[in-house]
Amino acid sequence: MPQASWRRPTAKARDAAGVVAPPNREGTAGLAPVKIENLALAADPSTTIGLSLNLPANATAFGEPVQTLTLPVEYFDTLGGATTLTAQFTSQPAAVAGPDSNAWRLSFIDSATGPAPVFEADITFDDTPGNGGELLTVNQIAPAGPALYDPATGLIDMPVFSAQPLTINIGALGTTEGLQQLATDFTPINIAKTGSPASTLSGIAINDRGILEAIFDSGFRRTLFQIPVGMVQNPNGMRALDGQAFAITRESGPIFFYDAGDGPTGTVISSALEESTTDVAEELTQLIKTQRAYSSNAKIIQTVDEMLQETTNLKR
């Protein structure tokens, strides 16, 4: 089957819903040769950071001193440089004897923009039976304006260095998926983040779906192309060209491009050489049969020749 490739649109080519328009599957319009150019170096800016940690509940009890707990998280800017975003948690102990306040001041400080928090909020945790430790409220203090925290998803959309969009996940209200408060030590549980520093191209890989990716030494992968699989109604009607290429003809019918693995097509196998379809055992068997037939025919001709020679001798 003939194969071609189309370049995936960049993020700038997406619509408002983030959907990439599919290529023309009934012709070669939009297809381009696979060329890897200007990729010796690349950077992958961070876009998301997920925080999962426990804050000590006893720090909010009456009479406890104010504590400030910090968690620095490295992220990468649009140029591939490393920058630190520090999550700062300041306890707010109960003002009077009685139940703990379960209250904290949350601040995010970006080392690239100075000591002023890029986001600040008062947060509280639930201590009711069955809900203990869950994030209860998040009241934004800074910046002034629209709320950046989404209580349903737990995401904070904040601009950081050079107005780079960065989404922080601290967990939705009523859950312990991100921030939680239990009567134990300050414990970072998990930090998940995207992005990588500026790094050097180390290789190219193609998966079974035909996705061609550039691999960098930092582990970052960038999708460059998707190689589709073309199919015609009558493959035997195609015209063979040099270089193991084929041309569409009237007898073959029009071509249609599928994503590898979809429809009636197979998957893509990279770094492999197609094996010959010749059955060696069958070919050797046919060779032996032909050789035996040739030997038999030669013997018959020899016998006839000897008979003719004998007849000639008798006539004399």
Higher pLDDT, 41 or 193: 193
Please say if the pLDDT value at position 169 is more than 90. yes
pLDDT digit string (tens) for 49-71? 999 999 999 999 999 999 999 99
CB 159 within 8 A of CB 166: yes
Q: Which residue shows structure tokens 């001709």?
A: 301
Report whether the peptide linkage leading into residue 143 is cis, meaning its omega lies within 30 degrees of zero: yes
Please say if the pLDDT value at position 142 is more than 70. yes
> Average pLDDT, stretch 82-95?
95
Q: Which two tokens stand for residue 56?
A: 């000590």
- On the 0-12 / 13-18 / 19+ scale of CB atoms within 10 A, 118 is buried
Instruction: Give the pLDDT of residue 2.
Output: 44
Largest Cα–Cα separation, the chain:
145
Look up the CATH number of domain 46-194. 2.60.98.20
Least confident of 67-81, 105-119, 300-314: 300-314
Least confident of 35-44, 76-85, 205-214: 35-44
Kindly indicate the confidence band of residue 220, based on its pLDDT and cuts at 50, 70 and 90. Answer: confident
CB hemisphere CA count around 279 (13 angstroms): 5
Buried b (16+ CB within 10 A) or exposed e, 51-80: bbbbbbbebbbeebeebebeeebebbbeeb
Q: Tell me the C-alpha distance between 79 and 223, whole Å.
A: 19
CA distances from 228 to 66, 213, 223, 248, 252 (A): 61, 14, 14, 16, 19
Instruction: Give the pLDDT of residue 18.
Output: 32
**Annotated domain spans of the chain:** 6-43+199-258, 46-194, 277-316
Please say if the pLDDT value at position 172 is more than 90. yes
Please say if the pLDDT value at position 137 is more than 60. yes
Q: E-assigned strands of the chain?
A: 6-7, 41-44, 48-56, 68-76, 82-91, 103-110, 119-125, 135-142, 149-150, 155-159, 165-169, 179-182, 187-193, 196-206, 211-216, 221-226, 229-231, 239-241, 245-247, 256-258
Higher pLDDT, 203 or 35: 203
Higher pLDDT, 274 or 171: 171
